[in-house]
Amino acid sequence: MIHKPIRKAIFPVAGLGTRFLPATKAVPKELLPVVDRPLIQYAVDEAREAGIEQMIFVTGRGKGAIEDYFDIAFESEVTQRERGKDLSALDGTRLLPGRAVFLRQQEPLGLGHAIWCARDIVGDEPFAILLPDEFMRGAPGNGCMKQMVAAYEKVGGNLVCALEVPMEETPNYGVIDPGARDGVLTEIKGLVEKPAPGAAPSNLILPGRYILQPEVMKILETQEKGAGGEIQLTDAMASLIGKQSFHGVTFDGRRFDCGSKAGYIEANLSLALEREDLGDHIRRFATEELAR
């Protein structure tokens, strides 16, 4: 069976990033660097690797720097070229005209509301969602969204990334009520947003990667507020279960929660250790620090 291709991805980037104050007073958290590339760049690269063509950024007040980041920095680039500097590091930061769309979530009403803000751009196509502060690190050439698109091409419908965590961490996430499993695919019987301690139906959480059918937008249009007094995407997705195909895709790779300070530091350390120009130095430094 042929399924409509996934051509569009939504990046919800309107959050205030309060856990990283005071840095995020002036810098969007999505532009905080992991080594030398901002979080949003890794997410966009992941989407492009999966064949996605159009990037939809749902921003908020004070997030104009994200739009500037994906623009051409004309004065700086001309000056650098005149000085004979290599600009290849900027290649991934230039999105072709029409391939980047920026719109605002005018009120902080939750993730579900942020996704709904992009309804007219998504139209009647299936689409992907990537949460940039969930840094998903797959093998080279096989990132998280590429793995999900491969699964989508087999089964279609709606898919979410699925990741196992310790049971005591489930109250912090959307959690899957699982059905039958087939390799990396898990049938989803239900979804629970931030269940009470001890009430989670499994330890499979939703770590910020989705492929959804456009019908979810109609549900979000009238979705009532849920956990945290916000319009929850998880609640809208749960309404589709039983009406459309719904699966979890177990991710083959590592996840870093860069919405937390500890996860952000872990991501920087892990990537630095992988780098040929940094790995040996960081390894020596870490060994010396741990020996103190």
144-155 and 39-49 helices, crossing angle to 10°: 30
255 with 291, same domain?
A: no
Mean pLDDT taken over the chain: 91
The phi, psi pair for 117, rounded to 5°, reads -60, -25
Asked, for residue 3, whether it belongs to a domain, the answer is no
65 with 106, same domain?
A: yes
Please report the pLDDT score of residue 71 as a whole number: 87
Asked, for residue 152, whether it belongs to a domain, the answer is yes
152 with 276, same domain?
A: no
102 with 91, same domain?
A: yes
Pairing mode, strands 33-34 and 54-59:
unpaired
43 with 170, same domain?
A: yes
According to DSSP, the residues that pair with 139 across neighbouring strands are 142
36 with 142, same domain?
A: yes
For the chain, the residue count is: 292
* In the predicted structure, residue 11 carries a pLDDT above the cut 90: yes
Contacts 24+ apart (CB under 8 A), 71-77: none
252 with 268, same domain?
A: no
Confidence of residue 1 (pLDDT cuts 50, 70, 90): low
* In the predicted structure, residue 111 carries a pLDDT above the cut 70: yes
Q: What is the mean pLDDT of residues 205-222?
A: 93
Asked, for residue 22, whether it belongs to a domain, the answer is yes
* In the predicted structure, residue 242 carries a pLDDT above the cut 70: yes
Please report the pLDDT score of residue 51 as a whole number: 96
228 with 284, same domain?
A: no
Asked, for residue 2, whether it belongs to a domain, the answer is no
Please report the pLDDT score of residue 41 as a whole number: 96
193 with 288, same domain?
A: no
Structural domains of the chain, count: 2
Among 211, 207, 159, 166, which residue's Cα sits nearest to residue 186? 159
Please report the pLDDT score of residue 38 as a whole number: 96
Asked, for residue 138, whether it belongs to a domain, the answer is yes
According to DSSP, the residues that pair with 57 across neighbouring strands are 11, 102
Asked, for residue 53, whether it belongs to a domain, the answer is yes
Please report the pLDDT score of residue 250 as a whole number: 93
Asked, for residue 224, whether it belongs to a domain, the answer is yes
100 with 124, same domain?
A: yes
208 with 78, same domain?
A: yes
65 with 143, same domain?
A: yes
Span of 72-81, 136-145, 195-204, 251-260 with lowest mean pLDDT: 72-81
- Rounded-to-integer distance, Cα 125 and Cα 279, Å: 43
Q: What is the mean pLDDT of residues 199-223?
A: 91
Please report the pLDDT score of residue 256 as a whole number: 96
Could you tell me if 168 and 285 are in contact, meaning their C-beta atoms sit under 8 angstroms apart? no
Span of 10-14, 40-44, 193-197, 283-287 with lowest mean pLDDT: 193-197
CATH assignment of the domain containing 90: 3.90.550.10
Could you tell me if 221 and 103 are in contact, meaning their C-beta atoms sit under 8 angstroms apart? no
Q: What is the mean pLDDT of residues 115-127?
A: 95
* In the predicted structure, residue 40 carries a pLDDT above the cut 90: yes
Please report the pLDDT score of residue 75 as a whole number: 79
* In the predicted structure, residue 229 carries a pLDDT above the cut 80: no
* In the predicted structure, residue 232 carries a pLDDT above the cut 90: no
279: containing domain = 260-292
Asked, for residue 1, whether it belongs to a domain, the answer is no
What CA dihedral angle connects 82, 88, 94 and 97, to 10 degrees? 80
* In the predicted structure, residue 106 carries a pLDDT above the cut 80: yes
pLDDT (tens digit, 9 = 90+) per residue, 146-163? 999 999 999 999 999 999
- Rounded-to-integer distance, Cα 19 and Cα 169, Å: 18
